[in-house]
Amino acid sequence: MGEAADRRTIGHPGLGRVLVVIPTYNEADNVSRIVARVREAAPAVEILIADDNSPDGTGVIADALARTDPRVHVLHREGKQGLGTAYLAGFAWARQRGYDAVVEMDADGSHAPEDLPALLDAACDADVVIGSRWTRGARVVNWPLRRLVLSRCGNLYARLALGMPVSDATGGYRVYRSAALEAIDLESVRSQGYSFQVELSRLAHRAGVRIVEVPITFAQRERGTSKMSPLIVAEALWRITTWGLQDRRTAVRRGLHGTPDGQVRWP
């Protein structure tokens, strides 16, 4: 079988069956577009739309997409319960069905499906791949200044507080090998909102799995509205601070020392 046929039939070579989880809340103008772009860029992957009963009918559109494409699935949740819990539900769905890797991707087009093959390639030699906005070669297009500042400051704070060797710990375009998710204690995850990404970065780092960052082109959404809110920022600030203090206490107790680059090496 040729490589092109392989890609269509058996998932990603070297990786296995891949499920792209796309959480949606009021993304009626985006959901068909993003599914079409994923199908085009990576025809062999499957897609799970995790919709929180969007009032704008996103779930109905998702159901119609799933009816015409056997590689599209929909997980309906009762109401808006946050991005973090939507991903946990998606991960559990993937685990029950034996996928080898799970991808996190936003519905609004900020995470270009055209970058997905590069992320999946990188996952062949890693446990977790983060599509990074803040490594060399990455581009951020049309993002308002306040979002740029928030992302840079959030990442700086997360790195200082948690000592992780990750430049985009808040980024939400990722690949997790299933074995890495098994190594992470998902039961312990408390984040409801976007701090979920930082929490999983921290847990992955502590589990000692191999994290690799791949530069992406991140574009501001063109349709629909952002669900980012002051409450989500507050949750992230509060949680990062709490984890940082906990880590410091544990490090002192275990006699661990930070390295000169400010990172903590967990044994």
Ligand X SMILES: Nc1nc2c(ncn2[C@@H]2O[C@H](COP(=O)(O)OP(=O)(O)O)[C@@H](O)[C@H]2O)c(=O)[nH]1
Residues 6+ apart with CB under 8 A from 195: 84, 232, 235, 236, 239, 240
Residues 6+ apart with CB under 8 A from 229: none
Question: Whats the size of the chain, residue-wise?
Answer: 267
Give the Cα separation of 69 and 252 in Å (integer). Answer: 54
Secondary structure class of 26 (helix, strand, coil): coil
Q: Tell me whether residue 112 or residue 180 sits nearer to Mg ion (CB atom).
A: 112
Name which position in 12, 18, 94, 108 contacts ligand X (CB under 6 A): 108
Binding part of the chain for ligand X, among 77-85, 93-101, 160-168, 201-209 by CB under 6 A, reads: 77-85
Q: Which two tokens stand for residue 30?
A: 């985006």
Q: What is the smallest separation between the CB atom of 116 and Mg ion, expressed in angstroms?
A: 16
Q: What is the smallest separation between the CB atom of 170 and ligand X, expressed in angstroms?
A: 9
Residue of minimal CB distance from ligand X?
226
Q: What is the smallest separation between the CB atom of 17 and ligand X, expressed in angstroms?
A: 23
Residues 6+ apart with CB under 8 A from 77: 50, 51, 52, 53, 86, 89
Q: Which positions from 146 to 185 touch ligand X by CB under 6 A, shown as an x/- string?
A: ----------------------------------------
Number of residues forming the site for Mg ion (CB under 5 A):
4
Strands 174-177 and 128-132: antiparallel
Give the Cα separation of 39 and 161 in Å (integer). Answer: 39
Q: Is 110 in the site for Mg ion (CB under 5 A)?
A: yes
Q: Which two tokens stand for residue 180?
A: 């890495």
Give the Cα separation of 84 and 98 in Å (integer). Answer: 21
Secondary structure class of 116 (helix, strand, coil): helix
Q: Which of residues 192-221 bind ligand X (CB under 6 A)?
A: 221
Residues 6+ apart with CB under 8 A from 56: 26, 27, 28
Q: Tell me whether residue 86 or residue 102 sits nearer to ligand X (CB atom).
A: 86
Number of residues forming the site for ligand X (CB under 6 A):
20
Binding part of the chain for ligand X, among 100-108, 128-136, 175-183, 204-212 by CB under 6 A, reads: 100-108
Name which position in 24, 191, 195, 201 contacts ligand X (CB under 6 A): 24
Q: Is 213 in the site for Mg ion (CB under 5 A)?
A: no
List the single partner that 107 binds among Mg ion, ligand X, none, CB under 5 to 8 Å by kind: ligand X
Q: Tell me whether residue 163 or residue 172 sits nearer to Mg ion (CB atom).
A: 172
Q: In the complex, which residues of this chain contact ligand X (CB under 6 A)?
A: 23-25, 27, 50-52, 80-83, 86, 106-108, 110, 221, 226-228
Q: In the complex, which residues of this chain contact Mg ion (CB under 5 A)?
A: 106, 108, 110, 221
